Structure 1
Amino acid sequence: MACKVQKRISLRRKLHILRVLINSNHASRTSTAKSTLLQVYKLKFALETIKREYENLLATRRECTSRLNHVKENKDVKVEKISDGTFVVRITCEEKGSDKLVAILEAFEEMSMNVEQARVSCENGFSLEAIAVAEDKTIEVRDVTEALLKAIG
């Protein structure tokens, strides 16, 4: 008989702890069990939602990192204005085997710029250093940079 009383006391203690954990005021065991089961399903759903959001964030991070690496590694265009209409252009690209020189010269031609001096290297990718003079003295550095990026992109 004492064993049954101890089991009943132990069960009541466990039910009381369970009610406190799930914030339930139900007196019966079945309603407490139902509340507990409902709470477990809610937590499981919340965990699945958090996992999905985490995976989406990781995918977004990977995509952004790959785009940044692609942009950073791929091309570097620096244009400096020496005087009115005269520019020093430095272009470096890590890609090999493409017709970048032709595209760059066509971009200069479209902007009505004459290349006075140029140095081209294809040793470690593509690099060009040139002095270009524009017929139109109002061309800005930003315009030249955008046109060259468009040409090599």
Structure 2
Amino acid sequence: MACRVQKRVSLRRKLQILRVLTNSNSAKRISIAKSAVLRLYKLKLALETVKRQYENLLATRRECISLLNHVKENKDVKIEKVRTGTFRVRVTCEKGGDKLVAVLEAFDKMCLNVEQARVSCENGFSMEAIAVAEDQTLNVRDITKVLLKAIGKQSGEKDCSDL
């Protein structure tokens, strides 16, 4: 008999806890159980919604990272003719590789002597130089083309003439 009373007290305690958790005002066991099942169902739906939103955010993140990886950094080569045979060269591009070596090799191929240069690798590669041409027939367009080709090869791009 005492065992039965303990079970009944235990059941009432559990029903009271369940009623508090489900915000149920009913005293009936069936009503409390229905409220608990309804509450669990709502929580399950909320959890599925959160999972779906999380998966959407991950997909968006992957897409953004993919787009950022495919966006090419600006490669900028500006050349000003200071006087006959003397050029002011400004090169800016993304970090990585031996950009300085490639630019200096390009200068060497074009027979340009660098009189003064300033190089920075803080927010990407940038270089300002004053170069004097041994050959007076060099023009700005030729130098620009060769320098763009040099920094393009260093960043892993294929040259069109190599194909």
Aligned residues: 107
Superposition deviation, residue 8 in structure 1: 0.6
Instruction: Tell me the residue number matched to 1:109.
Output: none
The one-letter code sitting in structure 2 at the alignment partner of 1:61 is R
Q: Percent identity?
A: 55
- The answer to whether the 8 A contact 1:24-1:32 is kept is yes
Specify every segment of 5 or more residues in structure 2 that has no aligned partner in the other structure, as ranges.
82-86, 97-139, 159-163
Q: TM-score, normalised by structure 2?
A: 0.54
- The answer to whether the 8 A contact 1:92-1:126 is kept is no
Instruction: Tell me the residue number matched to 1:117.
Output: 143
- The answer to whether the 8 A contact 1:79-1:87 is kept is no
Q: TM-score, normalised by structure 1?
A: 0.57
Instruction: Tell me the residue number matched to 1:2.
Output: 2
- The answer to whether the 8 A contact 1:81-1:88 is kept is yes
1:25–1:65 Cα change, 3 Å: same
Specify every segment of 5 or more residues in structure 1 that has no aligned partner in the other structure, as ranges.
95-113, 128-153
Alignment of 1:76-87 (within 5 A): 76-80=74-78, 82=80
The one-letter code sitting in structure 1 at the alignment partner of 2:76 is K
Which string of whole-angstrom CA distances, capped at 9 and with x for unpartnered residues, describes residues 70-108 of structure 1?
Answer: 11xx4432244748xx995748699xxxxxxxxxxxxxx
Instruction: Tell me the residue number matched to 1:61.
Output: 61
Alignment of 1:31-110 (within 5 A): 31-71=31-71, 74-80=72-78, 82=80, 90=91
Please give the root-mean-square deviation of Cα atoms over the aligned residues, in Å: 3.5
CA distance in 1, matches of 2:157, 2:90: 14
